[in-house]
Every structure is written in structure tokens, then in C-alpha cells.
Amino acid sequence: MCEARHDLRGGGQGASACVARASRHAGASTRPQFAYNVSWVVNILLFVAKGYAWWFSGSKAVLASLVDSFVDLVSQMVIFIAEFQSKVRAPPLRPRLTTLE
């Protein structure tokens, strides 16, 4: 793709620009995975901290927040399982998304 642009522009783009663009695209796929992993860690830490706070305070408001954090973890687990299943168990000859008939 960089070579085609190079030819169309008359040599305006060098090889270093192509390498820089390729490395940006390679790094773009790791950013969502990093954010996903950080969200797991933060949700687990929040759950543990709220559990600790509820255990020592006995507050019903903190308990409600603890339950909310638990529901967040469950929803994140459901999304993880659904994504994993879509990658692993999809039939090879059928498209993953089909129209409803």
C-alpha cells in the first residue's frame, strides 16, 4: 500500500513512513486488549475493597455497591465467554452473522 502511494505521489513518501505506519497499526490492536485487562483488574480490586469495607462497616449502602460490583464482574465474564465462544465454536462453512428469516 505504501508503494502505491509512493508511485502516485512521485516519491513523496519514504520507507520510514511506511514502517512507522505499520508499527502504529500493530500497536493499535494491543491497546484494546490492554484496556480490557486493566478493566478486569480494576473491577476485581473494587469488588475486594467494597467487600472489605462492607465487612467492617456493615453498611447496607456499601453492600448495595458491592452487589453492583459483583454484577459488573458477572457481565464482564458473560462478554468474555461469548467472545471466546464466537472465536472457537463458529462453524467454518457458515458465516457468524446471518439475517433472521
The percent of residues in the chain predicted with pLDDT above 90, rounded, is: 41
The Cα 51–Cα 93 span in angstroms is 47
pTM of the model: 0.59
Q: What is the pLDDT averaged over residues 55-79?
A: 95
Q: Give the Å distances, CA to CA, from 3 to 10, 16, 22, 25, 98.
A: 10, 12, 13, 17, 37
Burial class (CB in 10 A: 0-12, 13-18, 19+), 66: buried
pLDDT category of residue 67 using cuts at 50, 70 and 90: very high
Rg (CA), the chain: 23
Q: How far apart (Å, rounded) are the C-alpha atoms in residues 69 and 23?
A: 37
